[in-house]
Amino acid sequence: MRQHVMPPLVLDRAGGSSLAAQLYEQLRSALDSGALRPGERMPSSRVLAQHLAVSRIVVTDVYQRLTAEGRLEGQHGSGTFVARQPVPATPVRPQPEGSPEPEVIDLRPGTPWVAGYDQAAWRRAWRAAGDLPPAARPDPYGAPDLRAHLAEHLRRSRAVPVRAEHLMVTRGTGHGLDLLVATVLEPGGRVGVEDPGYAKARNVLAARGARVVPVPVDEYGVITDALPDDLALLYTTPAHQYPLGGRLPPARRRALADWARDTGGLLVEDDYDAEFRYDVAPLPTLFSQAPEHVVLLGTLSKSLSPDLGLGWLIATPALLSRIAARRYELSDRPPGAVQRAVATLMANGDMDRHLHRMRREYARRRAMIVGLLGDRVRGEAAGLHVMVELPGELVDQVVTRAAGHGILLDTIERHYAATPLSGVPPVGSPQSGAPRVGPPPGRSPVSGLSSVSSPPLVSSPPLVSSPPLAGGLPIAGEPRRHGLVIGYGAADLDQIERGCRILRDLIQG
Ligand SMILES: Cc1ncc(COP(=O)(O)O)c(C=O)c1O
């Protein structure tokens, strides 16, 4: 039986009002303020009467009154409880008939469709997780069986030539990036980030003291001939550029690998969205092409749910061991129960079945958007979002009018780094004063990167907080794009249809 809660009650026997009135007022105020929570067990009338040294009838009268008001509820034979449906503070006015709650249609990116999970499989996984005792010493690389399952999954689904020794379990992409940067980046190291790009990646980098350098992007992805040669790291989303939606073509992938080999910079490949692809052949990961120069980050945030906080980081065993050592120093651990549950989902084949269902569902949603918004849609070959390019002057108007219909939208504008690009010469261009030449022989080609292949790390950068673009120079060259980034994980298919019909009318004016 659950323990009761004893509310703090003080009765003033010399006071003007009766003991019953005082008890009623104090209990009512504790109930209405939330000090006593729905479902909590109240002390029995006998216990409370003894505790307050009052007659039991005083307590039973007050309990009856509060029960009649709906603040308490009696459960036959088991006692008195705080009502599960608390009394509303102000009476709720009934909605006049014919005026239903306005519908909200969330067409913003970044949210997966979670309602389609298999509840039975989910329960099985968590039961299995609960069957094992908690680990006394969590492995900083992650649970071996989960690493093996993830490696096998990536080998089959992404043709990534990866073994468990290359893979560390993380809490997601952002966390993987943070661990990597905490391990390899020296304070003030320059890190290229696609622009427009993933703001959270910029934030993680800036919080570790990196100088974030925006690198321009076009409809294919990151523009490789504009890459500076003094970057310690380059963060990129080649499978489905976030947010413009390009899939990086093979020639640019080769150019990135060459850049990394020539400059010594490390490529951080966010393999986000790679699991969802429509009518196009898979492209190999950068990691498969240049494993010595790439760290690949993956996540279950889109394919399952961000609520799990589970992802992976793939790197050479030497770099991985440095990251594991750093992780240990930071007292950062992968969550054991989550790993065990996910390993069970993978071992049972439930994860594959889930992905299959999700692919089918997302393909329907995407087809609906493309069908309704037609040739304005870009970046629709993969992932869970598309871009709808619009004339700049139309964007605000469409967003505001759509909001009037309950439609929530995101704009491309929001994904650009804060500093405007126009007028700033490219780093390494003749005007910028920075020579665009390779490093002298024998010297580390990039500053800010502590040796990637060397064994254990000696010192690491302190946690420094700075604004995302502190010290970073944007690279000019690509005009800003305007339009909407439409995600199709949050709303259901019917809502997407309604929302896109309204959008189409708003865009056509
Ligand atoms: C570009 C990109 N990468 C990764 C993620 C997922 O990150 P995490 O695994 O930290 O949830 C997102 C989520 O929206 C994203 O937009």
If you average pLDDT over residues 330-355, what whole number do you get?
97
The two beta strands, 294-299 and 72-75, are unpaired
In a domain, 34, yes or no: yes
In a domain, 446, yes or no: no
Alpha carbon dihedral 400, 401, 404, 405, in 10-degree steps, equals -130
Give the pLDDT band of residue 306 (cuts 50, 70, 90).
very high
In a domain, 421, yes or no: no
For the stretch 239-292, pLDDT in tens is 999 999 999 999 999 999 999 999 999 999 999 888 899 988 888 999 999 999
Where is average pLDDT lowest: 115-119, 143-147, 211-215?
115-119
CA distances for 175 relative to 142, 212, 267, 434, angstroms: 14, 17, 16, 33
Domain span at residue 47 reads 1-92
Distance 300 CA to ligand 1 centre (A): 9
Give the pLDDT band of residue 440 (cuts 50, 70, 90).
very low
> What pLDDT does residue 317 have?
96
Cβ neighbors of 123 (< 8 A, separation 6 or more) are: none
* 299 Cα nearest atom in ligand 1: 9
Give the pLDDT band of residue 153 (cuts 50, 70, 90).
very high
> What pLDDT does residue 447 have?
59
If you average pLDDT over residues 40-67, what whole number do you get?
90
Distance 482 CA to ligand 1 centre (A): 22
Domain identity same for 270 and 252: yes
Angle between helices 336-347 and 144-158 (to 10 degrees): 50
Where in 173-232 does DSSP place strands (E)? 190-195, 211-218, 221-222
Q: How many domains does the chain have?
A: 3
CA-nearest residue for atom 7, ligand 1, is 173
Distance 405 CA to ligand 1 centre (A): 28
> What pLDDT does residue 11 have?
85
Whether the CB of 242 sits within 6 Å of ligand 1? yes
Domain identity same for 331 and 403: no
- Distance, CA of 164 to CA of 141 (rounded, Å): 10
Quick one: which H or E segment has residue 359? Answer: helix 350-373
> What pLDDT does residue 18 have?
86
- Distance, CA of 271 to CA of 298 (rounded, Å): 5
In a domain, 146, yes or no: yes
Domain identity same for 345 and 356: no
Residue type at position 253:
R
Domain identity same for 307 and 201: yes
Whether the CB of 311 sits within 6 Å of ligand 1? yes
Distance 279 CA to ligand 1 centre (A): 23
In a domain, 477, yes or no: no
* 394, pLDDT greater than 80: yes
Residue of 194, 302, 338 to mutate, ligand 1, most atoms within 8 A of C-beta? 302
* 386, pLDDT greater than 50: yes
Quick one: which H or E segment has residue 497? Answer: helix 493-508
377 or 7: whose pLDDT is higher? 377
> What pLDDT does residue 446 have?
60
Domain identity same for 340 and 358: no
> 222: which strand partners?
217
283 or 427: whose pLDDT is higher? 283
The overall average pLDDT reported for the chain is 86
CA distances for 284 relative to 12, 76, 238, angstroms: 77, 64, 10
Domain identity same for 504 and 393: yes
> What pLDDT does residue 90 have?
47
Give the tokens for residue 90: 């102000």
Give the tokens for residue 297: 């980050």
- Of 421, 468, 477, 465, the residue nearest 212 (C-alpha): 468
Whether the CB of 198 sits within 6 Å of ligand 1? yes
68 or 393: whose pLDDT is higher? 393
* CATH label of the domain that carries residue 373: 3.90.1150.10
Secondary structure class of 320 (helix, strand, coil): helix
In a domain, 148, yes or no: yes
Provide the whole-model pTM: 0.76
Tokens 């061991």: give the residue. 321
Domain identity same for 179 and 321: yes
Residue of 272, 275, 338 to mutate, ligand 1, most atoms within 8 A of C-beta? 272
* 175 Cα nearest atom in ligand 1: 10
16 or 115: whose pLDDT is higher? 115
Residue of 235, 244, 299 to mutate, ligand 1, most atoms within 8 A of C-beta? 299
> What pLDDT does residue 457 have?
26
* 436, pLDDT greater than 90: no
* 242 Cα nearest atom in ligand 1: 1
Domain identity same for 168 and 281: yes
Give the pLDDT band of residue 86 (cuts 50, 70, 90).
low
In a domain, 447, yes or no: no
Whether the CB of 189 sits within 6 Å of ligand 1? no
Domain identity same for 206 and 77: no
> What pLDDT does residue 454 have?
38
Whether the CB of 303 sits within 6 Å of ligand 1? no
- Distance, CA of 10 to CA of 411 (rounded, Å): 57
Whether the CB of 321 sits within 6 Å of ligand 1? no
> 221: which strand partners?
218
**CA 141 to chain CA mean position, Å:** 21
> What pLDDT does residue 476 have?
55
Tokens 């980098």: give the residue. 205
> What pLDDT does residue 232 have?
98
- Distance, CA of 73 to CA of 40 (rounded, Å): 10
If you average pLDDT over residues 362-368, what whole number do you get?
96
Distance 196 CA to ligand 1 centre (A): 15
Whether the CB of 287 sits within 6 Å of ligand 1? no
Domain identity same for 261 and 318: yes
Domain identity same for 73 and 164: no
Distance 290 CA to ligand 1 centre (A): 23
Q: Count of CB atoms within 10 A of residue 309's CB?
A: 17
Whether the CB of 112 sits within 6 Å of ligand 1? no
- Distance, CA of 476 to CA of 264 (rounded, Å): 23
In a domain, 241, yes or no: yes
Distance 11 CA to ligand 1 centre (A): 56
* CATH label of the domain that carries residue 259: 3.40.640.10
The alpha carbon dihedral of 11, 13, 18, 19 has a sign of: positive
CA distances for 343 relative to 152, 168, 174, 259, 350, angstroms: 12, 14, 21, 37, 10
The alpha carbon dihedral of 302, 303, 308, 310 has a sign of: negative
Domain identity same for 149 and 26: no
Buried b / exposed e over 369-379, threshold 16 CB at 10 Å, is bbebbeebbbb
* CATH label of the domain that carries residue 56: 1.10.10.10
Give the pLDDT band of residue 478 (cuts 50, 70, 90).
confident
